Amino acid sequence: MKPEMEMKLQKIKRVSNIFRSICKMGLVLAACVFVAATVAILTGHGTLSFSGFSVPLAPLTFPSRFVLAAITALTIAVGVKGIYHLYQLFGNYGRGDIFTTESAGQIRQLGITVLLWYGANLLWAFTAVAVQRTPVVGQFHSDSLVTGPIIIVISWFMEMAAEMREENELTI
């Protein structure tokens, strides 16, 4: 490999390892948010907000709080899934495995996570309306319905390119 390409690869590895550490911190932060949100929901203190929808916790019955806690856990799990796949992807890049089928698979999982995030937003909006039983004002973005499939298609192209490269490397 040319020295300038080796330098670029080393830079990719270094930056990827930094971002992998950031993802690790994100996973810890998500766990802390989950614990704090669950405690707040079950004790009924404060207001829980997500994606522009707010739910005051004090007037909720215990079964409503339990449902809200489960939906919050699902929402946070989707975020954790995204951070986990970024962690894996940056791990691949940190080892120099950039255009591989494994990296393409992690990118595909990120596209699926974007679609799941849309579902979590939808679920959260319906939950906010259902538990308050009054009109609710909030924002709802459907851009994930476009972004997710685009990421999945890009990952499919990357996987095909990686397979073609691997086949060419075997041909002598």
pLDDT in tens, the chain (172 residues): 788 989 999 999 999 999 999 999 999 999 999 999 999 999 988 888 887 778 888 888 888 888 899 999 999 999 999 999 999 999 999 999 988 999 999 999 999 999 999 999 888 888 877 876 666 666 667 888 999 999 999 999 999 999 898 888 777 6
Q: DSSP assignment, residue 133?
A: -
Neighbours of 84 (CB within 10 A): 18
d(CA 114, CA 41): 26
Question: Residue holding tokens 């995204």?
Answer: 82
pLDDT of residue 83: 98
59-63 contact pairs (CB < 8 A, 24+): 60/131
Give the Cα separation of 11 and 17 in Å (integer): 10
DSSP string, 21-32: HHHHHHHHHHHH
Considering only CA atoms, give the Rg of the chain: 21
| Residue whose C-alpha is closest to residue 78's, from 101, 51, 54, 39 | 51
> Range of 102's domain?
3-170
Nearest to 93 by CA among 162, 6, 2, 14: 14
Q: What is the pLDDT of residue 136?
A: 63
The total number of structural domains in the chain stands at 1
- CA–CA gap between residue 124 and residue 82 (Å, rounded): 18
Backbone angles phi, psi at 35, to 5 degrees: -65, -45
